[in-house]
Structure 1
Amino acid sequence: MNVFFPAAGCGRLLFSASFLALACSAPALAQSEAGPVSLDEIVVSATGTPTPAREIASSVTVITAKDIEQQQRRTLPQVLATVPGMNIVQIGGPGGQTSVFMRGTNSNHVKVLIDGIEANDPSTPNRSFDFGSMLTDDIERVEVLRGPQSGLYGANAMGGVISITTKRGEGPPKATARVEAGSNGTFNQSAGFGGGDDRFNYAFNVAHFRSDSTDVTPPNIVPPGRRINPNAFDNYSYSGRIGVALNDTLTLNWVGRYQDGQLRYTGDTGFPSRPAPYRSLQNYAQAFTRGEVVWDPFGGRFVNTFGVSYTNQDRATRTANGTTGILGLPTENLGERTKIDWRGNLEIVKGHNLLMGLQYERERLDTASLVASNGNKAAYLEYQGNIQDRYFLAANIRHDNDDSYGGHTTYRIAPAVIVPGTETKLKASYGTAFKAPTLSELFIDYRPGFNFYGNPNLSPEESRGWDIGFEQPLLEKRVLFGATWFQNDIDNLIVQNTARTSYANIGKAQTKGVEAFAALEVSPQFRIRADYTFTLAKDEVAHQELLRRPRHKASATAIWTPTDKLTVSATLLYVGSWVDGNRDFSVARMNAKGAALVNLAAEYKATDKVTVFGRIDNLFDKRWENPVGFLVPGFGAFGGIKVAIGG
């Protein structure tokens, strides 16, 4: 592992020393609310119902609003960067297109849910979710569930599921506001208002993120004399949720989210290409909403949820002269999804539950060259059992019936046992999953201008995956460590046919590796966690490693709370080398260098209502390309103030 200390960074080191001096000058250690490493944290995504982490066999990482606030992560890619089993690839800093590769699977093999609403984008050719534009101000928790999950979640959950939950109003009315400024022309603001009790809750949030001078183009690939333009990102996000208990058995819930913005970035010209002398503009607007009726006629024994959700995602890309796309191809895309669902959670007897559900979903794609839609119906059933608080099992099965490819059945089984005496948790899982062909892959047609067209006879991509591992608590749960071995075998991958005129199910891949972690509470005021992931992802047809899957990834985070007013955090992220193409893929395969990045953050509660904060990103100004041809943002210093009223 290499940590970089450039000689030119002396000023930054002095700044950092001053930053840390704030922590060292704090009063004597005070008692903190931090407790021992907990195995009883609640997890929802693994089984679809709130379950203590101790009882879960699946590999899940939970990131809370407190974690996000302590480390001052302002965008979703920053939140996910240190999660084990995942590689984050962002093209050009804040707002840039961001892909997540989970356990070596493709970026479109991850299902993303926001408050239970599927967020994967039908307007994109591969139906992947672009994480780059999502802000974190209203996020309550993020759960990252790894491994094949189609038995509960259906299509696109081959690598796993990322479930995002926004904040729910609680307690007396409370208003918050935050302002932050810093490097790269960054200026961020957010405001929130919420409250609630057993009968009525509400929460609303508005956030604005702007950075107008992020350098992302490597100077060595720019023609001599050509100007290098920075990226500029401007985003507005609005969200709200309301819950009303009409009586003891009937509750109404609503959640909504809208965000729009623009990204100015340097495109390419020619082939082999060079960065253009002007910036392109991408505008986007995204809307997500869901309404629910929760009927609980038997005091929690059989809870029924009836829901309707709708998403609308609109993107348009234009170059400086007003044209759209590359070579004149249209890039103004609108994707819509409507879903109607019922979910029933039945307690058979204490410790034994059935989760069942029905879904109907319809997707629609509208572009300049294609208007298409597709429907899907599904039913699923899951059993969850707890025997003597030592033996745990979750098993599910699901059948999807699609207008395009017909029926598909998937399942998953995940047992765990807590060994008496040592309290070691032994866990394993096996599951199947699939990814449905996208509307573009099925129906796109660029003829006669280009001899490329969709294939309506495509079948789903399919996978089988398993993992096995352990978790061991020690010293009254103040130490927790564990490891998990995983493997996925993927068939029928959708790739271009040999004639490069359409798509075909001719790809195969295998991904395997190890995820390991250790968490230590040194004292009530000081906690450390380290994660390591080894991943080997291979194309089984070409017998080559898959692109953008580093073999080695490691991270370490330390949180220090010397007083009840001051919190300091430090994070180290190491990503090893991997195989990538160059910026325009005129060189299809090349070795991409890894790097180590260090981030620092601190916040101080000046009063019960006022908090001042600051952070440093990329402390040693590592100019690292991820992906090749695009620099991660360099050294950045940021600071601001947060105010709370009421509550």
Structure 2
Amino acid sequence: MDFDISSLPADGVEEVEVARGPLSALYGSNAVSGVVSIISRPAEGSPHFSALGEGGSFTTWRAAAGGSGLTNGLGWSYDLSRLDSDGVVTNDNYRDQSALLTLSFGRNPHREFNFHFFGNAESAGAPGPFGSDPDHLFAGLDTVSRAKRNLFGYGWNYSEEFSPRFREVVTGTLSTNDYYFISPFGDSFSNNKRTTVNEQSQATISPKDFFVAGLEWNREQVRDTFFADATGTPFLLPRTTWAYFAENRWNPAARLFVTAGVRADHIQTHALPPDEFGARPLLPATTVTQVDPRISVAAMLRQSGGGAWLDETRLHSSFGTGIRAPNGFELAFTNNPQLKPERSLSFDAGLEQRLFRSRAVLDATYFYNRFEDQIVVLGGSFTNLSTFTSANLGNSRTEGLEFSIQAQPTRSLHFVGEYTLLATDLLAVNGSTLAV
């Protein structure tokens, strides 16, 4: 399932975390080059509420309301928002509305249950080109075409602490992501659904050793107007993944921190029927097993120097691999029964230096990423590389240096600066001297 977050409002968002590099060892397929985590506002504290209203040109307005609190072990948090605009011309109007709800219950400090709901609905007109037209190329405003999207997500998790050293956590999610496009040439749709169940066993082996192991079941399915069988009828394309993972966070010495993890994904994709044009034959069901490791190491070369201007010096490095299984479009529009997941490998190493009692932090990091088995649609000079319309023939590489500085000279002033020197290479397609 592909996901577009561009229309999601920021109401109720507490923090956004961006983790760089392949993280399939933790998150499975699709975490091929990084992960974005959106963390909602926690349900805690004394009850408090907020409201917002805005307005502008073209009958544009926005309203939002929210609140959160914790009473007798029951925590709650909610956010509601709506954005409307009539646009510039007929059928240029836009509407986006969302709702976010979090409930938590944990009167017993060793037991906690959380429930999350998110809903987002948007509708946008598509009037086509308008405005100055000296060459008389525009056919006029399209007063019919309109894009709609409905996104709903449900999640829950239950944690039980059986002893100070052992905890069980079970998590479940269900999300639907449906697109509709209304057009005078015919309507179209894309319905996506994803369900996951995750179980984790967390054990504190020693004060310096924390271990996590578990399993995950994941089912994705898509039905699309353009994913049709030999009769022209859209069909359901499901994929099921079983995953097994483990991670160990170890502090073998006072200044050394090691985190090592591994995840095995068993990905099963159902068969695809032939299409009505003969471009796609029957594609049999496929099974892919992938093992992805990840390790990160941090070493404190120097601890805080007390009153000295030179504080902690930290050396950090990580290595990992990732995969991205072919999505629905790549499977529906190929005649290749052996299309494989795309793969990535990443390495980084850097040095962090804190100064003036951590009022300033400098960091320099080298990174290297390589992507292999990238899916390439073959045509032109690449036609003779395969008998199929697409294949895993693409390769690319990125590497560079990243520099950052954070400084807080006073309590009310915080400065952040970053600079990245990036070199990218589209490597030759397998079997050719040319890059895509």
TM-score (norm 1): 0.56
Percent identity at matched positions? 25
Alpha carbons of 1:159 and 1:278: their partners in 2 closer, same or farther (altered >3 Å)? farther
Deviations 1:68-126 (A, max 9, x none): xxxxxxxxxxxxxxxxxxxxxxxxxxxxxxxxxxxxxxxxxxxxxxxxxxxxxx2xxxx
TM superposition shift of 1:513: 1.9
Asked if the contact 1:266/1:276 (under 8 Å) is kept, the reply is no
SS in 2 for 1:424: strand
TM superposition shift of 1:472: 1.2
Alpha carbons of 1:481 and 1:255: their partners in 2 closer, same or farther (altered >3 Å)? same
Deviations 1:242-276 (A, max 9, x none): 1112634332111110110112345579xxxx877
TM superposition shift of 1:397: 0.5
State which of 33, 39, 47 in structure 2 corresponds to 1:165: 39
Give 2:12's aligned residue: 138
Separation of aligned partners in 2, 1:455 and 1:317: 29
Structure 2: runs of 5+ lacking an equivalent = 131-136, 229-234, 269-285, 304-310
SS in 1 for 2:163: coil
State which of 481, 485, 494 in structure 1 corresponds to 2:362: 481
Give 1:517's aligned residue: 404
**Letter paired with 2:141:** Y
Matches within 5 A, 1:236-635: 236-245=97-106, 247-265=108-126, 267=128, 277-279=140-142, 280-299=145-164, 301-319=165-183, 321=184, 323-324=186-187, 331-368=188-225, 369=228, 370-403=235-268, 404-421=286-303, 422-442=311-331, 444=332, 452-498=333-379, 499=383, 502-541=389-428
Asked if the contact 1:229/1:277 (under 8 Å) is kept, the reply is no
SS in 1 for 2:312: coil
Alpha carbons of 1:545 and 1:512: their partners in 2 closer, same or farther (altered >3 Å)? farther
Q: Bigger shift: 458-467 or 498-507?
A: 498-507
TM superposition shift of 1:352: 1.1
TM superposition shift of 1:527: 1.8
Which is higher, the Rg of structure 1 or of structure 2?
2
TM superposition shift of 1:183: 5.6
Deviations 1:19-70 (A, max 9, x none): xxxxxxxxxxxxxxxxxxxxxxxxxxxxxxxxxxxxxxxxxxxxxxxxxxxx
Alpha carbons of 1:545 and 1:318: their partners in 2 closer, same or farther (altered >3 Å)? farther
SS in 2 for 1:172: coil
Structure with greater proportional strand content: 2
SS in 1 for 2:6: helix
Alpha carbons of 1:502 and 1:342: their partners in 2 closer, same or farther (altered >3 Å)? same
TM-score (norm 2): 0.82
SS in 2 for 1:441: helix
SS in 2 for 1:278: coil
Asked if the contact 2:129/2:141 (under 8 Å) is kept, the reply is no
**Letter paired with 1:312:** T
Alpha carbons of 1:169 and 1:402: their partners in 2 closer, same or farther (altered >3 Å)? same
TM superposition shift of 1:231: 5.5
Separation of aligned partners in 2, 1:361 and 1:237: 26
Alpha carbons of 1:275 and 1:504: their partners in 2 closer, same or farther (altered >3 Å)? farther
Separation of aligned partners in 2, 1:322 and 1:193: 45
Separation of aligned partners in 2, 1:433 and 1:417: 25
Asked if the contact 2:74/2:107 (under 8 Å) is kept, the reply is no
Separation of aligned partners in 2, 1:246 and 1:137: 28
Give 2:81's aligned residue: 207
Separation of aligned partners in 1, 2:425 and 2:72: 52
Alpha carbons of 1:205 and 1:490: their partners in 2 closer, same or farther (altered >3 Å)? same
SS in 2 for 1:252: strand
**Letter paired with 2:28:** G
Alpha carbons of 1:156 and 1:490: their partners in 2 closer, same or farther (altered >3 Å)? same
Separation of aligned partners in 1, 2:390 and 2:95: 36
SS in 1 for 2:47: strand
TM superposition shift of 1:387: 4.0
TM superposition shift of 1:454: 4.9
Asked if the contact 2:172/2:198 (under 8 Å) is kept, the reply is yes
TM superposition shift of 1:139: 0.4
Separation of aligned partners in 1, 2:236 and 2:359: 56
Structure with greater proportional helix content: 1
Separation of aligned partners in 1, 2:156 and 2:65: 24
Alpha carbons of 1:132 and 1:171: their partners in 2 closer, same or farther (altered >3 Å)? same
Asked if the contact 1:154/1:398 (under 8 Å) is kept, the reply is yes
**Letter paired with 2:212:** L
SS in 2 for 1:152: helix
Asked if the contact 1:491/1:507 (under 8 Å) is kept, the reply is yes
Give 1:448's aligned residue: none
Asked if the contact 1:374/1:439 (under 8 Å) is kept, the reply is no
Matches within 5 A, 1:171-186: 171-182=45-56, 186=60
Separation of aligned partners in 2, 1:483 and 1:545: 31
Asked if the contact 1:441/1:454 (under 8 Å) is kept, the reply is no
Deviations 1:408-456 (A, max 9, x none): 10001110111225411111111111111123322x2xxxxxxx54534
TM superposition shift of 1:189: 1.2
TM superposition shift of 1:313: 0.5
Separation of aligned partners in 2, 1:470 and 1:278: 57
Deviations 1:573-606 (A, max 9, x none): xxxxxxxxxxxxxxxxxxxxxxxxxxxxxxxxxx
Which fold has the larger relative contact order, with Cα–Cα distance below 8 Å and residues 6 or more apart in sequence? 1
TM superposition shift of 1:486: 0.9
Matched, 1:189 2:63: yes
TM superposition shift of 1:322: 6.0
Deviations 1:472-515 (A, max 9, x none): 11111111121211111111001213449732111111111222
Separation of aligned partners in 2, 1:159 and 1:473: 28
SS in 1 for 2:141: strand
Structure 1: runs of 5+ lacking an equivalent = 1-121, 215-227, 325-330, 445-451, 547-647
TM superposition shift of 1:283: 0.1
Aligned-residue Cα RMSD (Å) equals 2.5
